[in-house]
Chain A
Amino acid sequence: MSGTGGREGMSDDADSGDLLHWLDPPVDKDLRFLTVRVWRGDETGAYQEYRVPRRDNQTVLDVLTHIQRHLDPGLAFRFSCRVGMCGSCAMLVNGTSRWTCRTRVDKVLGLGALTLAPLRNFPVIKDLCVDMSEFFDGVQRAEGRFVPKEPGARDFHSIPPGSRRRRRIDEAIECIGCGICHSACESVLANKEFLGPAALNRAWTLVNDDRDGAGRARLLAVAGDAGCQSCHSHQSCAQDCPKHLNPTRSIAGLKRAVAWATLTGRLTK
């Protein structure tokens, strides 16, 4: 429980609606407590400040849970598995997109304060919850679903684990759909139509799947100014991905595949 108890831990000192206002964080001189600034409201909201007791091995999600249970039950944020599998608890922690369940406070504390904001490049619904429907629609627009080459196949399709195409899939397949890469991506920021790193990474795994039969349609879907060619290879997605995937590498693979299909006249349905 908070030493301050109840709603006393909540301050009314709200800053102006600047989502990047973490650069000048307040520091709690009492080392038993953290000063936590949390975004409240939608895009036009503001930061709300809370005092939260510090704990050993405390995660950012623990901090949020404390605020919701003891200080402010109206705070909205998402989480589910708490062990880095579901990808639902992602948000901006001190300006960087992170999964909060696997982010320890002492790793990111910096000057002694935490600033938590909703993911970038997503519409904010309330507080730390963003609307991810466009993000998941992007996966569909990139033809990010398996289309069997032989719909009636009755036998296993053998794919050697060491084959080049299988290794490419292995490098990219562990995406948990948390949206962190989408939030980190400067190309998404500049071009709202851009499918984004996660959708293109998913498409790349299917382009390399020997069992998949939607190759041409998928290459057509990931070409163009909303597709792989709009990636400027900043590699922010690879830097921030909590699963240590490299969507930039996947997108580079898509660029090669689309270029080859264009040159050989196969960029058609």
Chain B
Amino acid sequence: MTRIRPRLESWLWLVQRAGAVVLLVGVAVHFTTNIMAVRNGLSAEEILGRTAGNMVFLIFYSLFSLAIAGHGAVGLRTLLREATPLPGAAIDGITLAVGILLAVVGCRIAYGFYAVGLPVGGAIAGQ
């Protein structure tokens, strides 16, 4: 490891810390709404009734997913650097792929919950 990219490292550090702050708020909101949602029994109807077509839900969970991707990928990068003998370029590649995967999968899931029941191309999504 060499100290060749201080600006990039500083930005990554900021992404990780900012991601942690978003996650702190996000997890609190997530658990609070979960508890509220299961008061009448945990059912798909109860959950989808809150999420389908709800733009606030979509934005919130997309941000949540991006925060997980940023925080997790940078954290994983640090772990791999300190705990494995892998070369820096390989670690950067692996963690970038993990970050993109987490972001895409997370946002796709959030969109899936949002889009259920919305008309898509003449059909009803999720049916």
Contacts and interface: CB of A to CB of B under 8 A. Distances in A.
A267 interface: yes
A227 B3 contact: yes
B1 A262 contact: no
A169 interface: no
B1 A229 contact: no
A85 interface: no
Nearest to A195: B3
Contacts of B3: 141, 193, 224-227
Given A190-B82, A190-B83, A191-B1, A223 B14 contact: no
Nearest to A262: B10
Q: Which applies to chain B's interface (DSSP): helix, strand, loop or mixed?
A: helix
A163 to B, nearest CB: 27
Contacts of A263: 14
Contacts of B7: 223, 262, 267-268
A220 B3 CA distance: 10
Contacts of A229: 9-10, 13
Contact of A191 (B4, B5, B14, B82): B82
Contact of B6 (A190, A191, A193, A224): A224
A109 interface: no
A223 B6 contact: yes
A258 interface: yes
Contact of A262 (B2, B4, B14, B78): B14
State which size class the interface on A falls in: 20 to 34
B1 A223 contact: no
A258 B83 contact: no
A172 B73 CA distance: 34
Interface in B1-30: 1-7, 9-11, 13-14, 17
Contacts of B11: 262
B1 A225 contact: yes
Interface string A180-207: 0000000000111100000000000000
B81 interface: yes
B14 A224 contact: no
Nearest to A194: B1
Nearest to A261: B10
B6 A220 contact: yes
A263 B17 CA distance: 13
A259 interface: yes
Nearest to B8: A224
Nearest to B13: A229
Nearest to B4: A224
Contacts of A192: 1
Interface string A25-46: 0000000000000000000000
A193 B10 contact: no
Contacts of A262: 7, 10-11, 14
A226 B6 CA distance: 9
A263 B18 CA distance: 12
A225 B4 CA distance: 9
10 contacts: A193-B2, A220-B6, A223-B7, A224-B10, A225-B1, A225-B3, A226-B3, A262-B7, A263-B14, A267-B6
Interface of B: 1-7, 9-11, 13-14, 17, 78, 81-83
Interface of A: 141, 190-193, 220-221, 223-227, 229-230, 255, 258-259, 261-263, 267-268
